[in-house]
């Protein structure tokens, strides 16, 4: 569903602290697959994920999205034609992002001071769904993730594992077709990591595309992975060793 | 359309909950803002109500008054002038008026003394305004001494105490019998303070006034329109100066608001970064910020408006009545008739809400353009 | 009243300031716009377009409110000036009154049209109208500065006790001024002219609304309907409101004696001309690929607004014409 052609990302271009985080990656991600991106710290995994997830535009190269959904978002006349993300205005990137992707961030990125429930509801607010409906969906997610009893607790009162599951629930509230997870097990012990993989398995069975960056062997050696790619210094090392 | 409304509602809800979370900051901002609006509202209501009171009063005043001038000063006018004026075409009636001021050293206040043709005021009796009655604690039937031109006091009986729709200018009024008035002040016979002229067709007033000035070059005809204009100018001028001063305060506040809005706390910045990363568009965050601004300024506006109303109409504007009224001894507890029109509310709205919105639009935008991938990098 | 003047001045100065700021962004954008580039500068420029839209939207709101406030204020001020009976006299006190009103009106209409262009631009994915709308902004900003200047000088030069003319003499046929010209139009023919022009406009509007065609023509006809609406109001319809065969003042209609009906009538005319002309401007750009779906849809909606505005106006004046006992002979 996503195609990257020789994509680069240079931060702070033209300034003294210019940094090339992604240096020409070509990659195709297929709908329904589970892809693991591994590599050492600082190799550019997070940068690659944010390009895939339409967080920002690449410095050069092209990113294309296949599928009717992306075509509908930009109002394209021909749904069979892939959508060229590269030059879309920011608000379209955002629109695509929230229609297609759910994100689990390395640091969870939950808003402090509000309840777990409201955190999960947040991504759906601008979509124009009535609040009561969002609330119902969120509570269902809390149920299925086994944290229903913590729904009305404030974020800062939750344990790491609970926060993780709140972050998962938030990523799923908009019913994304693809889930992007950045180091999802970095803050978890091995028990919780296994629990996470169980959730991933369920999602995969439901047909969700999974894109996970991780340097945790438990994740990249897991049988769930359809494809493991390795990134080093902004370049692809093993071009998709499929199993 | 439905989805637009729903998403706006959701964003508004979230704006409210955000403001409540930052309670301390929100309420201090609203309080300061409301204070500025309050002062502004008080001044506007007050000057406006004062002006309306005087207009109300003047609506009962004669359409045309003729004074005699000697060496540029007002002097009693001979009654024969009146007989002459009565013959001008269009004039239906000429009435001599006798009035003046009397200084009461006991309570250090000026009364306006005027004669009346009302039958209930016979020789030796008076009618007085409610303010005066209160100051001297007089009831109907009590006696009041007034010092004459010769330094001898005359004693009068209070026949009536009147209160009328507007008590701004009648509160210090004393009505006497004509003969008493002339005796008390040694006012020359065959003279009057001025003449009140009634003209059959109001459109002819300017013509009649011109004709009078022509016949009697030593007189000055004054039309009610002239007086209304002067009043309007005076009250507006006094109020205008205050409003300029308060506008300065408003300006200071706006700068403060701009400063507040542009200096986001680290927490707020982080929150916006998260919103952006989970799929809020720049426009939506901007709308969130604008909703916050709208809530703050509308709340402050309403609070200030209600506060100003209570201050002026229920408490009689204790904070600055003296500044505007000037001669205030007789008015400590006098009440203005509550009167507000949409225009004043609209002006107050424009004056207090618009500058705030103008000042916060750019900082709000700056807050809204935080990069979404800030969250990706996890800047904790 | 003083407070109203201060409110107007504060708002117009603030508006002008903000619009100049927006114009600076517009110049930057026109200079270095490059959609293909993924540079941070381009990203910032794109983000700034959101700021500019918000600024103009805010200012359009301000303009609508302050236009009404301005008219109300000068109307209320008339008691300060000997010889004047309504806003017409106050505006005539010094030579800046009428130009101020005209500029303010123009600014409001332009801001409305700008918002329509902006809407079309926003709906498309490749900023097709960015040049058009930012060029228009470069017209709007100086105009708004001019408005602030002229408004300020008008109010500062407003000396009480000036003897001015009342509307009865300003709007009197036979004078060579615009007001005199309007008032001097023969009442019945100008009414007939108005009905003809409006009928054509409404027909045009309905066609555009149903089929999406004739959008450009609608810009022209709605402008004509706007002008003939005002002309016929001054020359003919107002006589029925005042029930005086010689009183042609367009401002007395704003007074409470006539239910302040003027505010509604003028608002309808303005809304009609803004939606009509705005539709025409975007019609010129309908050929661009990214707009080919968006423009016709938006245009139909706008045409509906044009039709609604002008037909409500027509209904109001016609009802007055038929229900009042006053007859022109
Ligand atoms: N916005 C930015 N500005 C400047 N440099 C950046 C920015 N984002 C990332 N970098 C740099 O790009 C490089 C790659 O970062 P990235 O976060 O993609 O690595 P990563 O593989 O996810 O590392 P980790 O495993 O530690 O999360 C790092 O050296 C980082 O410092
Ligand atoms: Mg990372």
Q: Are residues B257 and B178 in the same domain?
A: no
Exposed, middle or buried: residue C298 (CB in 10 Å: 0-12, 13-18, 19+)? buried
Q: Select from B223, B254, B275 the last residue of a domain.
A: B223
Residue B203 pLDDT greater than 80, yes or no: no
Please answer whether residues C208 and C310 qualify as being in contact, where contact means their C-beta atoms are separated by less than 8 angstroms: no
State the average pLDDT for chain A.
Answer: 87
Residue B146 pLDDT greater than 90, yes or no: no
pLDDT at C176: 66
B326 falls in which pLDDT band (50, 70, 90)? very low
Residue C173 pLDDT greater than 70, yes or no: no
User: Is residue A127 a part of any domain in this protein?
Assistant: no
Residue C132 pLDDT greater than 60, yes or no: yes
C81 falls in which pLDDT band (50, 70, 90)? confident
* Structural domain boundaries, residue B158: 64-223
Q: List the single range of A136-150, B335-349, C39-53 with lowest mean pLDDT.
A: B335-349
Separation of CA B73 and ligand 1 centre (Å)? 90
Question: Over the stretch B22-55, which tens digit does the pLDDT of each residue have?
Answer: 888 888 888 888 988 888 888 888 877 777 776 6
User: Is residue A6 a part of any domain in this protein?
Assistant: yes
How many Å is the maximal CA-CA distance in chain A? 51
Residue B328 pLDDT greater than 60, yes or no: no
Q: What is the mean pLDDT of residues C50-78?
A: 90
Which residue numbers of C have CB closer than 8 Å to A's CBs? 35-36, 38-40, 43, 46-47, 50, 123-127, 293-294
* Structural domain boundaries, residue A186: 2-108+177-238
pLDDT at C6: 84
Q: Are residues B125 and B71 in the same domain?
A: yes
Distance from CA of B294 to the nearest CA of C (A): 12
Q: What is the mean pLDDT of residues C102-109?
A: 94
Q: Which residue of A has its CA nearest to B369?
A: A90
Domains identified in chain A, total number: 1
Best mutation site among B43, B261, B276, B354 for testing chain C: the one with the most C CBs within 10 Å? Answer: B354
Q: A87, C38: Cβ pair inside 8 Å?
A: yes
Question: Over the stretch B81-127, which tens digit does the pLDDT of each residue have?
Answer: 888 888 888 888 888 888 888 887 777 777 788 888 777 788 888 88
Please answer whether residues C116 and C65 qualify as being in contact, where contact means their C-beta atoms are separated by less than 8 angstroms: no
Please state, for a pLDDT cut of 90, what percent of chain C lies above it: 43
Output C193-201 pairs: Cβ under 8 A, ≥24 positions apart. Answer: C193/C228, C193/C231, C193/C232, C194/C228, C194/C229, C194/C231, C194/C232, C194/C236, C195/C314, C197/C221, C197/C224, C197/C225, C197/C228, C198/C225, C198/C228, C198/C229, C198/C310, C198/C314, C201/C225, C201/C276, C201/C306, C201/C310
Residue to substitute in A13, A18, A19 for testing ligand 1 pocket (most ligand atoms within 8 angstroms of CB): A19
DSSP string, C204-245: HHHHHHHHS--HHHHHHHHHHHHHHHHHHIIIIIHHHHHT-T
Contacting residues for C274 by C-beta, under 8 A, at least 6 apart: C109, C112, C113, C116
User: Is residue A132 a part of any domain in this protein?
Assistant: no
Top mean pLDDT of B203-212, C33-42, C274-283 is at C274-283
The structure's pTM equals 0.81
Strand order in the sheet with B99-104: B99-104, B109-115, B173-176, B125-129, B153-162, B143-147
- Distance between CA atoms of residues B53 and B313, nearest Å: 13
User: Is residue A141 a part of any domain in this protein?
Assistant: no
SS3 B60: coil
Q: Select from B223, B251, B277 the last residue of a domain.
A: B223
Residue to substitute in A13, A46, A55, A220 for testing ligand 1 pocket (most ligand atoms within 8 angstroms of CB): A46
Structure tokens at A87: 């030059």
Question: Over the stretch C184-220, which tens digit does the pLDDT of each residue have?
Answer: 778 788 889 999 999 999 999 999 888 888 888 999 9
Q: Which residues of B104-139 are buried (b: 16+ CB within 10 A; e: fewer)?
A: beeeebebbbbbbeeeebeeebbbbbbbbbebeebe
Domains identified in chain B, total number: 2
Q: A89, C125: Cβ pair inside 8 Å?
A: yes
User: Is residue A44 a part of any domain in this protein?
Assistant: yes
B232 falls in which pLDDT band (50, 70, 90)? low
User: Is residue A26 a part of any domain in this protein?
Assistant: yes
CATH of the domain at B130: 2.40.40.20
Separation of CA A209 and ligand 2 centre (Å)? 20
Top mean pLDDT of A192-206, A221-235, C104-118 is at C104-118
pLDDT at A160: 83
- Distance between CA atoms of residues A157 and A163, nearest Å: 9
Question: Over the stretch C226-241, which tens digit does the pLDDT of each residue have?
Answer: 999 998 888 888 888 8
Residue A118 pLDDT greater than 90, yes or no: yes
Does A163 sit in the ligand 1 pocket, CB within 6 Å?
Answer: no
State the average pLDDT for chain C.
Answer: 86
Q: Select from B223, B239, B263 the last residue of a domain.
A: B223
User: How big is chain B, counted in residues?
Assistant: 380
Q: Which residue of A has its CA nearest to C294?
A: A75
C302 falls in which pLDDT band (50, 70, 90)? very high
Q: What is the mean pLDDT of residues C110-130?
A: 90
Residue C248 pLDDT greater than 60, yes or no: yes
Q: Are residues B265 and B142 in the same domain?
A: no
Q: Are residues B205 and B69 in the same domain?
A: yes
pLDDT at A93: 87
Q: Which residues in C lie closer than 8 A to residue A74 (C-beta atoms)?
A: 125
State the average pLDDT for chain B.
Answer: 80
Q: Are residues B101 and B213 in the same domain?
A: yes
pLDDT at C4: 84
Question: Over the stretch A196-219, which tens digit does the pLDDT of each residue have?
Answer: 888 889 899 998 999 999 888 888
The candidate with the shortest Cα–Cα distance to A9, out of A235, A238, A243, is: A235
User: Is residue A171 a part of any domain in this protein?
Assistant: no
User: Is residue A143 a part of any domain in this protein?
Assistant: no
SS3 B110: strand
CATH of the domain at A65: 3.40.50.300
Q: Are residues B9 and B72 in the same domain?
A: no
Residue C313 pLDDT greater than 70, yes or no: yes
Q: Are residues B249 and B281 in the same domain?
A: yes
pLDDT at A126: 92
Q: List the single range of A36-45, B255-264, B329-338 with lowest mean pLDDT.
A: B329-338
Question: Does A13 or A96 have the greater pLDDT score?
Answer: A96
Does A227 sit in the ligand 1 pocket, CB within 6 Å?
Answer: no
Q: Which residues in A lie closer than 8 A to residue B267 (C-beta atoms)?
A: 112-113
Separation of CA B376 and ligand 1 centre (Å)? 9
C4 part of contact set with chain B, CB < 8 Å? yes
Q: Are residues B365 and B273 in the same domain?
A: yes
Separation of CA A213 and ligand 1 centre (Å)? 13
Q: Are residues B248 and B371 in the same domain?
A: yes
Q: Are residues B201 and B282 in the same domain?
A: no
ipTM value, please give it. 0.91
């Amino acid at each position: 569903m996503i195609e990257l052609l020789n994509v680069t990302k240079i931060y702070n271009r033209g300034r003294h602290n210019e940094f090339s985080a992604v240096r020409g990656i070509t990659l195709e991600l297929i709908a329904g697959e589970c892809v693991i991106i591994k590599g050492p710290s600082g190799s550019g995994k997070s940068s690659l994920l944010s390009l895939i997830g339409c967080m920002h535009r690449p410095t050069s190269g092209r990113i294309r999205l296949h599928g009717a959904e992306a075509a509908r978002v930009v109002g394209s006349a021909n749904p069979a034609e892939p959508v060229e993300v590269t030059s879309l205005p920011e608000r379209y990137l955002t629109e695509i992002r929230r229609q297609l992707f759910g994100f689990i961030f390395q640091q969870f990125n939950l808003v402090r001071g509000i309840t777990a429930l409201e955190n999960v509801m947040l991504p759906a607010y601008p979509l124009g769904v009535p609040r009561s409906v969002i609330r119902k969906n969120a509570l269902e997610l809390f149920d299925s993730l086994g944290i229903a009893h913590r729904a009305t607790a404030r974020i800062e009162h939750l344990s790491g594992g609970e926060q993780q599951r709140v972050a998962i629930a938030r990523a799923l509230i908009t019913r994304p077709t693809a889930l992007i997870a950045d180091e999802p097990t970095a803050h978890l012990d091995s028990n919780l990591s296994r629990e996470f993989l169980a959730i991933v398995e369920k999602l995969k069975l439901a047909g969700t595309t999974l894109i996970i960056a991780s340097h945790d062997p438990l994740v990249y050696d897991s049988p769930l992975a359809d494809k493991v790619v390795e990134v080093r210094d902004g370049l692809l090392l093993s071009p998709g060793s499929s199993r | 359309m439905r989805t637009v409304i729903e998403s706006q509602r959701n964003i508004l809800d979230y704006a409210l909950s955000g403001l409540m979370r930052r309670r301390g900051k929100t309420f201090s901002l609203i309080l300061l803002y409301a204070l500025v609006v309050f002062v502004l509202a008080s001044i506007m209501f007050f000057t406006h109500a004062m002006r309306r009171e005087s207009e109300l009063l003047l609506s009962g005043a004669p359409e045309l008054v003729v004074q005699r001038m000697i060496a540029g000063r007002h002097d009693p006018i001979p009654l024969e002038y009146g007989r002459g004026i009565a013959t001008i075409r269009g004039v239906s009636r000429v009435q001599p008026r006798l009035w003046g001021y009397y200084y009461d050293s006991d309570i250090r206040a000026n009364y306006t003394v005027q004669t009346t043709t009302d039958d209930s005021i016979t020789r030796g009796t008076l009618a007085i305004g409610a303010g005066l009655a209160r100051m001297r604690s007089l009831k109907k039937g009590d006696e009041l001494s007034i010092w004459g031109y010769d330094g001898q006091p005359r004693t009068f009986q209070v026949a009536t105490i009147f209160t009328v729709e507007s008590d701004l200018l009648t509160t210090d009024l004393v009505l006497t019998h004509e003969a008493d008035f002339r005796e008390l002040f040694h006012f020359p016979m065959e003279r009057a303070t001025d003449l009140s002229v009634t003209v059959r067709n109001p459109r002819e007033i300017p013509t009649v006034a011109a004709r009078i000035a022509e016949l009697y070059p030593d007189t000055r005809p004054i039309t009610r329109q002239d007086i209304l204009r002067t009043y309007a100018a005076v009250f507006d001028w006094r109020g205008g100066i205050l409003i300029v001063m308060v506008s300065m305060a408003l300006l200071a506040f706006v700068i403060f608001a701009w400063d507040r809005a542009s200096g986001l706390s680290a927490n707020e910045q982080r929150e916006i970064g998260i919103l952006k990363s989970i799929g809020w568009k720049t426009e939506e965050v901007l709308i969130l910020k604008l909703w916050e601004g709208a809530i703050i300024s509308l709340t402050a506006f309403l609070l200030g408006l209600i506060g100003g109303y209570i201050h002026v109409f229920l408490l009689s504007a204790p904070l600055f009545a003296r500044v505007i009224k000037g001669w205030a001894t007789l008015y400590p507890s006098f009440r203005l008739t509550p009167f507000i029109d949409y225009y004043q509310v609209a002006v107050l709205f424009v004056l207090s809400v618009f500058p705030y919105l103008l000042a916060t639009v750019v900082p709000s935008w700056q807050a809204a353009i935080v990069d979404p991938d800030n969250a990706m990098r996890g800047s904790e | 009243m003083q407070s109203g003047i201060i409110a107007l001045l504060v708002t117009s100065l603030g508006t002008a300031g903000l619009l100049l700021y927006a114009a600076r962004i517009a110049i930057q954008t026109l200079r270095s716009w490059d959609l293909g580039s993924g540079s941070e500068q381009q990203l910032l420029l794109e983000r700034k377009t959101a700021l500019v839209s918000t600024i103009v939207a805010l200012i359009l709101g301000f303009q609508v409110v302050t236009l009404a406030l301005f008219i109300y204020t000068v109307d209320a001020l008339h008691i300060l000036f000997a010889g004047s009976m309504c806003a017409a006299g106050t505006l005539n006190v010094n030579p800046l009154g009428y130009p101020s009103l005209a500029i303010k009106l123009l600014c409001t209409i332009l801001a409305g049209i700008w918002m329509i262009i902006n809407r079309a631009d926003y709906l498309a994915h490749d900023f097709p109208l960015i040049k058009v709308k930012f060029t228009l902004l470069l017209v709007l900003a100086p105009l708004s500065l001019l408005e602030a200047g002229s408004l300020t000088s008008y109010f500062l030069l407003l000396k009480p006790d000036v003897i001015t003319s009342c509307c009865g003499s300003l709007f009197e046929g036979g004078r060579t001024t615009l007001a005199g010209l309007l008032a001097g139009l023969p009442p019945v023919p100008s009414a007939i002219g108005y009905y003809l022009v409006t009928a054509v406009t409404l027909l045009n509007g309905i066609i555009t609304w149903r089929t999406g065609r004739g959008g450009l023509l609608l810009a022209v006809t709605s402008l004509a309907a706007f002008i003939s609406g005002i002309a016929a109001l001054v020359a003919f319809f107002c006589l029925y409101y005042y029930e005086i065969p010689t009183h042609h003042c367009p401002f007395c209609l704003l007074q409470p004696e006539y239910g302040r009906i003027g505010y509604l009538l003028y608002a309808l005319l303005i809304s009609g001309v803004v939606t009509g002309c705005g539709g025409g401007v975007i019609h010129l750009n309908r050929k661009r690929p990214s707009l080919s779906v968006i423009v016709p849809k938006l245009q139909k909606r706008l045409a509906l607004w044009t039709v609604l505005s002008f037909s409500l106006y027509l209904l109001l004046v016609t009802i007055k014409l038929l229900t009042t006992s006053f007859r022109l002979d």
